[in-house]
Amino acid sequence: MKIPIILDGPMGTEIERRGGDTRAPLWSSKALLDDPDLVREIHLDFISAGAEVITTNTFRTQERTFNKVGLKNHGKIMTQLAVELAHEARKKAQKSIKVAGSIAPLEDCYSPELVPDFGHLKREHSDMAKWLNDTGIDIFLIETMNSVKEAKTAVDITNEYDLPIWLGMTVNHEGNLLSGETWTNLLKSVSDIPEIIFVNCSSQIGTTNALQQIIKYRQKHTIKFELGFYPNYLFELEEGRSIVELRNEFHQILDLWMTYQPKVVGTCCGATPEDTKYLANLFNQF
């Protein structure tokens, strides 16, 4: 078995777990204003747990997000701060990890009906890509996308830079994109560009179904991208299930997912550095 690269876990729910304010629309970016030290600390904890790639806290640092709360001209500044905090954590940890620059949907990631028109997508994702690249990242992580239109726009924009592109899509329980589009729709549009394509921020059953769809597509087509996944616990936690129960299920279902030979594995909303540590210990056995 090839040993996957370990991606870190969630920033937003980890900020919330530690007492930070993550109310919409700012979500995790509020901590950049209130407590940047907390952001750095979370990066360090994921590195200590075994993460080999950490993700910048830029999921909600788009200019439009700060405009919603009356904070003009904050997008670039907060994006730069988020990247710098990741750099500081890497330097303090003294480990040769990679920094992935997060590019998220411009609107709510679970609301594909809110995806803006192409003009706004191109302009605003171009801004984010430039800010991230200029501040210094190792990878573009386009994540939690819910539609082909926005995913393809972000992929095409980041492809103008000389950096690896990782693309993550969020799915429903059936494994389809939240827009209702299939993986075939997406992969026909972008599969020749990203280095890795992920299922992310989705339930465990949705992740399983999506991975199986991707595998079927791969069996019929000549492709170059690798697979990755970082599921969440959030949906199940909101249903009243315990974190212990969900962790046990995650550990069990990993046996199936690992048969797909993922290049990168991580966790998303609801998980903690303890889950990253579990992955590190598991992979160290091989």
* Distance in angstroms (rounded) separating the CA atoms of residues 135 and 155: 19
* pLDDT at residue 235, as a whole number: 64
pTM score, two decimals?
0.96
Q: Which residues have a Cβ under 8 Å from the Cβ of 231 and sit 6 or more positions away? A: 199, 200, 201, 202, 203, 204, 207, 250, 267, 268
* Distance in angstroms (rounded) separating the CA atoms of residues 106 and 103: 9
Residues of the chain with pLDDT under 70: 235-238
In the chain, how long is the greatest CA-to-CA distance? Answer: 51
Domain of 141?
Answer: 5-283
Amino acid at residue number 267: T
* pLDDT at residue 278, as a whole number: 95
* pLDDT at residue 222, as a whole number: 84
* pLDDT at residue 14, as a whole number: 97
CATH number reported for the structural domain that contains residue 170 in this entry: 3.20.20.330
Tokens matching residue 134 = 């200029």
* Distance in angstroms (rounded) separating the CA atoms of residues 108 and 32: 19
Number of structural domains (the chain) is 1
User: Are residues 10 and 268 in contact, defined by beta-carbon separation less than 8 angstroms?
Assistant: yes
The closest of 277, 279, 199, 272 to 231, measured between CA atoms, is 199
Q: Tell me how far apart the terminal alpha carbons of the chain are, to the nearest angstrom.
A: 8
Strand, coil or helix: what is 142? strand
* pLDDT at residue 98, as a whole number: 99
DSSP 8-state code for residue 171:
B
